[in-house]
Structure 1
Amino acid sequence: MGDQPGPPEPGDSMTPVPPLASPPVRASDDERHRVVELLGEHAAAGRITLAELEERVGRAYATTSRAELAELTRDLPALTEQAQPATPRRKASRWLVAIMGGSTHRNMRRLTGRVNIISVMGSDDLDLREVEIEGGELEVNAISLMGGPTIYVPDTVEVELSGPAIMGGNDERGSGRRPRPGAPVIRVRSFALMGGVDVWRLPAETRGLSLKAARRSAKALERGID
């Protein structure tokens, strides 16, 4: 009787090779920012708490893959067009992020649409004294977790400051001068946990001064704004 073939040896061409698992697709900074923006909108609608927002924002900036990002909004409904403000097109967004640190953003000459500020154990100074607001309105969304930004605006614009602050606060200070009717509007919406947003209205004539000197001038014009 002839020899019978034995079992295939390791490495034999007959041994099936398991397919290699595809590596997870990596997420971009823009994708992380978009998820954080969505989380902020859901927090504003009351679907998640600020504590949940803090936890999810931290995970969003720590993750590296699209799949992990998707998990952060999997239990939240899609935001429909009816649930969002009706606009002819999506507002352009600019992002400023401070994680355990901060910086001062100056020389912003022209802005349109929306500025989003994320502060996690850090803060940013946003100097808007010389900004030209296209369309007459600028939206600033500030998510503050154990920190928060300070925003400097000229007293020639209207400021609307709103939003919850838990174990923190949002404050408007500085010049008590009122802008002319029809002046540009800066709408600041804050979501703060153990932090908040400070908005300083600085006299228009202090635009060439340092922020410290401009604050001193604003305090002289302060009229009961806490």
Structure 2
Amino acid sequence: MDDEAGHGEYTRMRASDADRERVARTLHDALGEGRITMSELEERLDTVYAAKTLGELEPVLTDLPGASVAPWTPDSPPAAAAPPEQRIGGTPGSTFSIAVMSGADRKGNWVLPAQHNSFAFWGGVEIDLRQARYAEKHCTITAVAIMGGVDITVPDDIVVEVTGLGFMGAFETKNRKGASDSAPPGAPVVRINGLALMGGVEVKRVPREPRRRGRERDEHD
């Protein structure tokens, strides 16, 4: 009875943003491992972001091994980022991102396919690989910006090769403050090519974890 009462009290606790984001990351990892489908992910995320209590988060994790909605506490040590060579594999995400007089983004926990095509026309595309996995060790992003922009943020623990062309525009790489000069052995390799025509493609190498939260703004300078 005590255990049941304790569990009932626990499930009535209000869920925080950190709780919802933690469960969402678990679901994205399950997608990458092939445990759930994309449609199941979308359905479960709708439940996650509508949840008000921890009990409402439980159903989306019941069939996933080792998953828990245990509440986050500030004293809990942060989980260490997986070594880059262990982030290779998983079900590939979308093979394209298109923004025509609009915006599009690919960020958070997703799997970069072997070939991803990005196109921006009078619009903007944002691709963020800091929390991404890689379908293969060698992946390619082809970015085309015509009177628009494509911004690609990559962590400094992967290898990046940029060979794009700028014509009346810019196709460039920038190392943000604190970014390492080289990636560790076994790191994924991302090749970025394409064209910037009267537009811009910017590849930003940034530290995987900012030393202080306030420094995150440096990535957008």
Q: With structure 2 as the length reference, what TM-score do the two structures score?
A: 0.51
Could you say if the C-alpha distance between residues 218 and 136 of structure 1 is closer, same or farther in structure 2, counting changes exceeding 3 Å?
A: farther
2:187 counterpart (162, 183, 187): 183
**In 1, distance between residues paired with 2:104 and 2:163?**
24
DSSP-derived class of the 1:149 partner? strand
Amino acid at match of 1:112: P
Paired residue for 1:204?
208
Given that 1:150 and 1:198 are in contact with CA atoms closer than 8 Å, whether structure 2 keeps it comes out as yes
Alignment partner of 1:96: what SS? Answer: strand
Q: CA RMSD in A?
A: 2.7
Whether contact under 8 Å (1:93, 1:114) holds in the other structure is no
Closer/same/farther in 2, CA of residues 134 and 103 from structure 1, 3 Å limit: closer
Determine if contact 2:93/2:110 at 8 Å carries over to the other structure: no
Query: Which AA in structure 1 matches 2:160?
Result: V
Q: Note the C-alpha offset of 1:141.
A: 0.5
Whether the 8 Å CA contact 2:101–2:121 is kept in 1: the answer is yes
Question: 1:166 aligns to what?
Answer: 167
Partners of 2:154 and 2:206 within 8 A in 1: yes
For residue 172 of structure 1, report the CA deviation from its aligned partner.
1.0
* Structure 1 counterpart of 2:218: 216
Percent of aligned pairs with the same amino acid: 32
User: Could you say which structure has the higher helix fraction?
Assistant: 2
Consecutive aligned runs of 4 or more in structure 1 exceeding 4 Å deviation = none
* TM-score, structure 1 normalization: 0.50
> Which residue in 1 is equivalent to 2:47?
none
Q: How far is the alpha carbon of 1:93 from its aligned partner? A: 6.2
- Asked which structure has the greater CA Rg, the reply is 1
- Residues 147, 179 of structure 1: alpha-carbon distance in 2 compared, 3 angstrom cutoff: same
Residue in structure 2 matched with residue 130 of structure 1 by the alignment: 131
Q: Which runs of 5+ in 1 are unaligned?
A: 1-90, 220-226
* Deviation (angstroms), 1:202: 1.3
* C-alpha contact 2:159 2:190 (8 A) present in aligned 1: yes
3-state DSSP of counterpart to 1:188: strand
Identify unmatched segments of 5+ residues in structure 2: 1-91
